[in-house]
Structure 1
Amino acid sequence: MFVNAFAAQLRDVRAHIGDEPGLTMLHGVHLEAGDGRLYAVATNRFTITAARRDTPGIGTWDVLMPRAEVDAVLDLARVAGTDDAHLVRTPTGLIVHIGGYTVAVDDRVDERGEFPRRMWRTRVAAALAAGPALDAEMVVDRRRLAAFAPTSDTETGAVQIWGSGPHDPLVITRGTDYIGLLMPMRRGTDGPTLDDVRAAWDLDATGPTG
Structure 2
Amino acid sequence: MPVIINAHQLSRLIDRTIGHIADEFTTVLHGIRLEADATFLYAVASDRHTVAAARYRHHGLDGTEPLARTLPASCLTSLREWTGAQPGSDPVSITLAEGRVRFSSPHSELGVAVDDSLAFLNWRGILRGVIEQTDGTGGEFPVLDTQLLSRFAAADDMVRVRVAADQQAVLIVGEDFLGAQMPARTRRDGVGAETLTTLAQVHTFWQPTLPAIEAATMTDGIPAEPRRHRYEASESIAETVQDLLKHTMRTTHELFSTDISSQAFAAYATSGVMAWSAYRYLEALHRADPKLAATVVAETAGQLDDGALGEFAWDAAKNAGHDPQKWQDQFDKQLAGRKDSNPESVQGQAATTAV
Shorter-chain TM-score bucket reads: 0.7 to 0.9
Query: Given the superposition, is the C-alpha separation of residues 20 and 90 from structure 1 closer, same or farther in structure 2, using an over 3 Å criterion?
Result: closer
Counterpart in the other structure of 2:210: 205
Q: TM-score, normalised by structure 2?
A: 0.51
Counterpart in the other structure of 2:166: 166
How far apart are residue 130 of structure 1 and its match?
A: 1.7
Deviation sequence 1:47-75 (CA, Å, 0-9, x none): 11100111142242111111232221211
Query: Given the superposition, is the C-alpha separation of residues 180 and 97 from structure 1 closer, same or farther in structure 2, using an over 3 Å criterion?
Result: same
Q: Secondary structure at the match of 2:42?
A: strand
Question: For 1:181 and 1:190, how far apart are their aligned partners in 2?
Answer: 22
Q: Secondary structure at the match of 1:204?
A: coil
How far apart are residue 191 of structure 1 and its match?
A: 5.5
Preserved CA contact (<8 Å) 1:171 1:181: yes
Gaps of 5+ in 2: 214-355
2:106 equivalent to 1:103: no
Q: TM-score, normalised by structure 1?
A: 0.82
Q: Secondary structure at the match of 2:61?
A: coil
Counterpart in the other structure of 1:88: 95
Deviation sequence 1:124-173 (CA, Å, 0-9, x none): 1111112555842211111101101136xxx5x32111132211111101
**Structure number with higher strand proportion:** 1
2:48 equivalent to 1:45: yes
How far apart are residue 196 of structure 1 and its match?
A: 7.2
How far apart are residue 97 of structure 1 and its match?
A: 2.1
Q: Secondary structure at the match of 2:74?
A: helix
Preserved CA contact (<8 Å) 1:86 1:97: yes
Paired AA for residue 102 in structure 2: I
How far apart are residue 2 of structure 1 and its match?
A: 1.1
Paired AA for residue 169 in structure 1: A
Paired AA for residue 160 in structure 2: Q
Counterpart in the other structure of 1:26: 29
Question: For 1:129 and 1:200, how far apart are their aligned partners in 2?
Answer: 32
Paired AA for residue 127 in structure 2: V
- In percent, how many aligned pairs have the same letter? 22
Give the RMSD, CA atoms, in angstroms: 2.5
2:12 equivalent to 1:8: yes
Aligned residue runs from structure 1 range 108-119, under 5 A = 108-110=115-117, 112-113=118-119, 115-116=120-121, 119=122
Paired AA for residue 81 in structure 2: D
Preserved CA contact (<8 Å) 1:13 1:29: yes
Counterpart in the other structure of 1:77: 83
Aligned residue runs from structure 1 range 113-132, under 5 A = 113=119, 115-116=120-121, 119-131=122-134
* Larger Rg belongs to: 2
Q: Secondary structure at the match of 1:185?
A: coil
Preserved CA contact (<8 Å) 1:76 1:98: no
Query: Given the superposition, is the C-alpha separation of residues 107 and 191 from structure 1 closer, same or farther in structure 2, using an over 3 Å criterion?
Result: closer
The count of corresponding residues between Structure 1 and Structure 2 is 198
Paired AA for residue 179 in structure 1: L
